Amino acid sequence: MTAIATLIGDVVRSRAAADRRALHARLEEVIALVNARTDPLQPLRVTVGDEFQGAWARRGEAVHAALLLRLSLLPEVETRYGLGHGEVTALSDDGLVQDGPGWWQAREAITRAKGDEESAGSRGRVVRTRWVEDSPVGLALDAALRHRDLLVADLDERSQRLLRGLLDGTTQRELAEVEEISPTAVSRRVHRDALDQLVALDAELGALP
C-alpha cells in the first residue's frame, strides 16, 4: 500500500443542466487540460455520471489540481471537491480500480463539502473544497482550503479569468490587453479581490509534500 493524495470531484446540480452531453464534453476537456498541467499518479477521469477522480504523489499537487479544475470550469459549471491523503491499494491489474483509506477520506471530504453547501443556504458564500486526513497537517490544510474557497466565492467572472491568467504566469499588463482594460484597473482588482493572495496561497500549498 502507498500513501498518496486523492481527489474526488463532482458537478454541482448537474441534473439541472440543459445539455448534459455538452456538460460532459466540457468536463472531459478540462480534465485533459489539468492532467497535462499536473503530474498525476492516477490521471483524472470521469468515473460515474458527473463524478471524477484522480491521485497525486504530493498533497500540494492535488490541492493545485482542484483549484485549476474549478477555475477552468467556472462560471458555467460549478464543482465540489473532496481530498484526502492515505494508503491506497490497487484492486485490478491495470491499477484503475483502487481502495483504501486514501479514497475513503476523499469520499468523506466531499460528503462534508455537500454538507457545507446545505448549511450555507441560497445566499451564503459556499465552501466547495474539503480535506480529510487524520493528522495536524490535514486539519491545517482543510482550514486553508475553506478560506481559499470563501475568497473564490466573491469573484465575478472577470476576476475569475484574471486569477486563471495569473496562475498561468500571465502578467497583469498582458491580462489588461486581453480584457481590454487598463493595467491600473487590473491592479485594482488584483488587490481588491485578493487575487495576489490567492496566487501566493496556491504556491505555498502547492509546495506541500
pLDDT at 92: 58
3-state secondary structure of 12: coil
pLDDT at 16 over 90: no
Output the average pLDDT for the chain.
93
What value, to the nearest 5°, has the Cα angle with vertex 17 and ends 42 and 107? 35
Find the mean pLDDT for residues 152-175. Answer: 97
Find the mean pLDDT for residues 45-59. Answer: 94
DSSP string covering 172-191, please?
Answer: HHHHHHHHTS-HHHHHHHHH
Could you say which architecture CATH assigns to the domain 2-153?
2-Layer Sandwich (3.30)
pLDDT at 206: 96
pLDDT band at 14 (very low <50, low <70, confident <90, very high): confident
* Site of grid cell 486569477: 163
CA nearest 85: which of 100, 110, 102? 102
**Residue 127 DSSP symbol:** -
Contact between residue 10 and residue 52 where contact means Cβ atoms under 8 Å apart = yes
pLDDT at 118: 86
> Does pTM surpass 0.85?
yes
pLDDT at 90: 67
Find the mean pLDDT for residues 33-49. Answer: 94
pLDDT at 119: 85
